[in-house]
Amino acid sequence: MSDVLLRIADPAVGVVLAGCGSALWVRRRRSLVGPLMLVAATCWFLGSIWTVAVFLHRGPLVHLHISYPTGRIRRPLAIVTVICAYAVSIVEAIGANPWVTLSMAVLVGLAAADIYARTSGPARKAGGPALAAALTFASVLALSAANQLLVWQNDLLVLLLYDLAICVVAVVLAADLLWGRWTEATVADFVTQIGARPDPGTLAGALQHALGDPTVTLGYWMPDQRHYVDDRGRPLQVPPDDPTRVPIQIDENDQRVAVLIHDAALHLDEQLLADVIAALRLALGNARLRAQVRVNLNELGAARRRLVEAGDAQRRKLESELDGGPQRQLFETSQLIESADADLRKRLAPLLAELTAAQADLRDLAQGIRPPALDSGGLAAALPLLVRQAAPARIDLAVIADRLPPAVEGAIYFVCAEGLTNVVKHAQATRTSVTVRIDDGAVVARITDDGCGGADRNGTGLRGLADRVQALGGELAVRDSNDGGTEVMARIPLEEAQ
């Protein structure tokens, strides 16, 4: 009779685990408890047909009990316990040891108690079934070890109790997860995450975790702009007729405050969604203020970029006017003098020299405004010309061939020009290096030398360049090297600059 009960109970455990796991897989996709139950069921059936695998189910079962209801573990003791459970389930398949089983039972109980003791409020109420399940499983493990250590010789009774405990725990946890306090635990975890740092980025991440949808988007309503913005302050378009995305408008005192957009394929628990949105309202005030600040910063950055671009446009216009006006007139006057007879040319020689000097000064001025080579060929064409005009003993140049936004090319060119000018005038360097490259989505320019150092960071040239680079969302740094010399480094993110 006892053998018949055992033959019925053994496959029944696997069926219960598989059934509960499948139901949770379908109804509670945000939790990993369902997949863990299915893994445990697979290991159980494998152990029934292959003796070596008879204890493999203990690893996922301990993992399930310690991590309920989310299936995720955070506490150090819980992590150690789960790792040990998987290791022991493999080792015991080779050689079972009652002392190892008893130690595992004690460790499971301590880990479950540690997790429960560190929770409060709704999370503690939801953690009750988890603690009961872990202690129940730990008890049957301890009972199995005691049966061998104390030589009770009640193997059949212990096995039946073991099977019954696993079935009861699986059914209770599945029922609790489907109809019990899963919502309370999820909302409590959500409130805990947003309570520490209620900024837009934290809210979006917490919502994705709580609702189990990594595509969840949260938009903040900006009354002045009459549109939503995302957590970076950028305009957010709400999909009006997209069947794959569902927008949920969030109001406060009959005023629109935010919108939550989730995947239409995700079947959200209505009660969970309502509770999460209610908790979300408590944190939206600060998050909206932070989003508004980011909108203002974005607008300020855009205004500064427009000023830089307008300044570059004016410089190009001035260079064109110099080339077509004064420079042309000086050239024509020089040609008239050159075409005069020898006696007149001799008497006008001083004037011709002055005209030549004036032409050179205008060319230098036009080059300093914005060289034509920069517009026609980019940094790869303009920087070699700039290097050839400098006078240090040696200059190493490495520059990208890619074309960049005009404002970025202008900023990088003038950073290099100012750096080389300082080297020529003040550094007394014997070697200089100029490099321009793309690094992690940003263009980076470095001008280094082996001179005497001591560059004036507050000089008008470097301060003006710092403003230009910052207007494009970048940064300018000037550092003295430990070995002597100076490094001027500009970094401009291309996404920001565009």
Q: Give dist(CA 128, CA 143) in Å, integer.
A: 22
Which range is most confident: 82-96, 257-271, 433-447?
433-447
Tokens encoding 193: 């995450």
Contact 207, 151 (CB under 8 A): no
Residue 128 has pLDDT above 70, yes or no: yes
The half-sphere exposure of 25 on its side-chain side, counting CA atoms within 13 A, is: 11
Contact 78, 115 (CB under 8 A): yes
Closest by Cα among 10, 161, 136 to 65? 136
Contact 236, 227 (CB under 8 A): yes
Residue 136 has pLDDT above 70, yes or no: yes
Q: What is the pLDDT of residue 3?
A: 62
Residue 123 has pLDDT above 60, yes or no: no
Residue 352 has pLDDT above 70, yes or no: no
Q: Select the more confidently predicted residue: 46 or 191.
A: 46
Q: Give dist(CA 330, CA 353) in Å, integer.
A: 11
Span 221-253, pLDDT tens digits:
877 778 888 777 778 888 777 777 888 888 877
> Who contacts 206 (Cβ-Cβ below 8 Å, separation ≥6)?
190, 193, 194
Contact 58, 85 (CB under 8 A): yes
Location of structure tokens 């990993």 = 32
> CATH for 377-497, among 3.40.50.1370, 3.40.50.280, 2.30.29.30, 3.30.565.10?
3.30.565.10
Angle at 398 between CA 396 and CA 403, to 5 degrees: 150
**What average pLDDT does this structure show over 100-118?**
87
Q: Give dist(CA 112, CA 82) in Å, integer.
A: 11
Q: Select the more confidently predicted residue: 379 or 453.
A: 379
DSSP states of 42-96 as a string?
HHHHHHHH-GGGTTTTHHHHHHHHHHTTTT---SHHHHHHHHHHHHHHHHHHHS-
Span 392-419, pLDDT tens digits:
556 777 888 788 888 888 888 888 888 8
Radius of gyration of the chain (CA): 37
DSSP states of 175-224 as a string?
HHHHHSSHHHHHHHHHHHHHHH--SHHHHHHHHHHHHT-TT-EEEEEETT
Closest by Cα among 369, 367, 372, 412 to 390? 367
> Who contacts 132 (Cβ-Cβ below 8 Å, separation ≥6)?
172
Span 153-169, pLDDT tens digits:
787 788 888 888 889 98
**What average pLDDT does this structure show over 200-207?**
68
460, containing H or E segment = helix 460-471
Q: How many percent of the chain have pLDDT more than 70?
A: 68
Q: What is the pLDDT of residue 178?
A: 81
Q: Select the more confidently predicted residue: 362 or 263.
A: 263
Location of structure tokens 């073991």 = 162
Contact 471, 381 (CB under 8 A): no
Q: What is the pLDDT of residue 237?
A: 81
125 residue type, one letter? K
281 residue type, one letter? R
Q: What is the pLDDT of residue 266?
A: 57
Residue 201 has pLDDT above 60, yes or no: no
**What average pLDDT does this structure show over 202-206?**
72
pLDDT confidence band for 289 (50 / 70 / 90): low
Q: What is the pLDDT of residue 415?
A: 85
Q: Model pTM?
A: 0.45
pLDDT confidence band for 125 (50 / 70 / 90): low
Q: What is the pLDDT of residue 420?
A: 84
Tokens encoding 173: 């946890």
CA distances from 466 to 414, 463, 469 (A): 11, 5, 5
Span 43-54, pLDDT tens digits:
888 888 887 777
Average pLDDT, the chain: 76
Q: What is the pLDDT of residue 469?
A: 81
Residue 278 has pLDDT above 60, yes or no: yes
Q: What is the pLDDT of residue 247?
A: 85
Residue 100 has pLDDT above 80, yes or no: yes
Span 68-79, pLDDT tens digits:
877 878 788 888
Span 297-332, pLDDT tens digits:
565 555 556 555 555 555 555 555 555 566 566 666
Q: What is the pLDDT of residue 374?
A: 79
Closest by Cα among 385, 386, 387 to 431? 387
Q: What is the pLDDT of residue 38?
A: 92
Q: What burial letters (b/e) apply to 419-435, b meaning 16+ CB within 10 Å?
A: bbebbbebbebeebbbb
Span 416-425, pLDDT tens digits:
888 888 887 7
Contact 406, 368 (CB under 8 A): no
Backbone angles phi, psi at 165, to 5 degrees: -60, -45
